[in-house]
Homo-oligomer: A and B are copies of this chain.
């Protein structure tokens, strides 16, 4: 990892790419938050300060007005992850809604860096939301699995990273994406002339100074890391997928992703006009906290830091009861008297991600805050909420055999005509 040195300011140094948005990713802020594509840490139990992040990254807040417009335009109630501010920031979402109103096409692009065999609950969040977007907007969806990135940053052979990508693809497919609208690809497997042509064009426009400033790279980093940002940027452009979009090179793109991926897409948005392409729009999510609290990290090497998608009901129950950081008081008496703190309570926080019923959630919040609901009771609600979700996902995974995987990962035309 190259995050050890202070990242330089961009404004003074950039030559080939003139950045028009706030592009400096400060590695450490005064508030102790660290947010970049490889690190998300906060010193605060309430997690990263997202309003500050919006200001820092130069994006726009997803406010009630935008939510109301999405509901008006789509005629559907928005997903609870939108209602609750999990997807909290955006770029150019109004442009996407304008297109949708005019019946003009766009497409969705999201992805995942396949770093471990088993994904955890937090990994589901962007895919749950992307599935909702696919259902509501009925547009093509491309999902990039950056096995090349994982091989470059972690000590993983490309061949092994590719295997992880396949495993992760199965878990993603199990979220319910429509086969006729979804193309999932591993970078290593999919690499082809159209993809490479866009990568090359982007690489030509981005210099060493820029990737050092945005991604904190140093000369001791591999040149693979220097060139990778172009590989994550390229799928934002429809010309990367001629099988899907034919000769249409300017189909706009909407990228739902966690806010830590924004640096890649700020860079993408800066090169887009120079290539005659459309800047991708974005919707950013907050981070899913670790069981031990928003100031700790989920880690595949610490099995107790997260609920994994292959956990058994017993494991889920034990993990929540033993490890979920509580906002409750030390004793029942004290809790009844003072009430609990939902802002730091992980069981409550997880419910905001997975409990769809707004009224029920609000009642829980009130009851826990007042002390009427005890920590053990709150944890039981969480267990009863996420266990069926995990089991349902495991059941769906069983249906994703090699043949189903092959179908989703075969480069092909989707159901849309371009």
Is there contact, CB below 8 Å, between A224 and B203?
yes
Known A-B contacts A158-B197, A226-B226, A227-B226; A221 and B207 likewise in contact (beta carbons under 8 Å): yes
Is there contact, CB below 8 Å, between A211 and B193?
no
A219 within 8 Å of B (CB atoms): yes
Bound Cα distance from A223 to B204, whole angstroms = 7
A389 within 8 Å of B (CB atoms): no
Chain B residues with CB under 8 Å of A218's CB are 208
Known A-B contacts A208-B217, A209-B220; A193 and B189 likewise in contact (beta carbons under 8 Å): yes
From residue 217 to 245 of chain A, which have CB atoms closer than 8 A to chain B? 217-224, 226-227, 229-230
Chain B residues with CB under 8 Å of A205's CB are 222
Is there contact, CB below 8 Å, between A223 and B219?
no
Can you tell how many copies of this chain the complex includes?
2
Query: How many A residues face the partner with a CB closer than 8 A?
Result: 42
Known A-B contacts A148-B200, A152-B200; A207 and B188 likewise in contact (beta carbons under 8 Å): no
Chain B residues with CB under 8 Å of A219's CB are 13, 207-209, 212
Bound Cα distance from A189 to B197, whole angstroms = 9
Bound Cα distance from A211 to B222, whole angstroms = 10
Known A-B contacts A188-B197, A191-B193, A203-B152; A227 and B223 likewise in contact (beta carbons under 8 Å): yes
Is there contact, CB below 8 Å, between A208 and B221?
yes
- In the complex, what's the smallest C-beta–C-beta distance from A225 to chain B, in angstroms? 8
- In the complex, what's the smallest C-beta–C-beta distance from A146 to chain B, in angstroms? 11
Bound Cα distance from A196 to B222, whole angstroms = 16
Chain B residues with CB under 8 Å of A227's CB are 203, 223-224, 226-227
A410 within 8 Å of B (CB atoms): no
Bound Cα distance from A211 to B201, whole angstroms = 20
A15 within 8 Å of B (CB atoms): yes
A132 within 8 Å of B (CB atoms): no
Bound Cα distance from A371 to B240, whole angstroms = 65
Bound Cα distance from A230 to B211, whole angstroms = 19
Bound Cα distance from A378 to B121, whole angstroms = 82
Known A-B contacts A208-B208, A208-B217; A222 and B193 likewise in contact (beta carbons under 8 Å): no
Chain B residues with CB under 8 Å of A100's CB are none
Bound Cα distance from A219 to B206, whole angstroms = 10
Bound Cα distance from A206 to B212, whole angstroms = 16
Chain B residues with CB under 8 Å of A189's CB are 193
Known A-B contacts A189-B193, A190-B193; A223 and B208 likewise in contact (beta carbons under 8 Å): yes
Chain B residues with CB under 8 Å of A187's CB are 196
Is there contact, CB below 8 Å, between A223 and B226?
yes
- In the complex, what's the smallest C-beta–C-beta distance from A212 to chain B, in angstroms? 7
Q: 9 new A-B pairs (CB below 8 Å) besides A151-B204, A188-B197, A190-B193?
A: A15-B220, A203-B223, A203-B227, A204-B222, A207-B221, A210-B223, A211-B223, A224-B230, A226-B226
Q: List 18 A-B contacts (CB under 8 A).
A: A15-B220, A152-B200, A159-B197, A188-B196, A188-B197, A191-B191, A196-B196, A200-B224, A203-B224, A204-B224, A206-B222, A206-B223, A208-B217, A208-B222, A208-B226, A209-B220, A210-B223, A224-B227
Q: Identify the A interface with B (CB < 8 A).
A: 13, 15-16, 148, 151-152, 158-159, 187-193, 195-197, 200-201, 203-212, 217-224, 226-227, 229-230
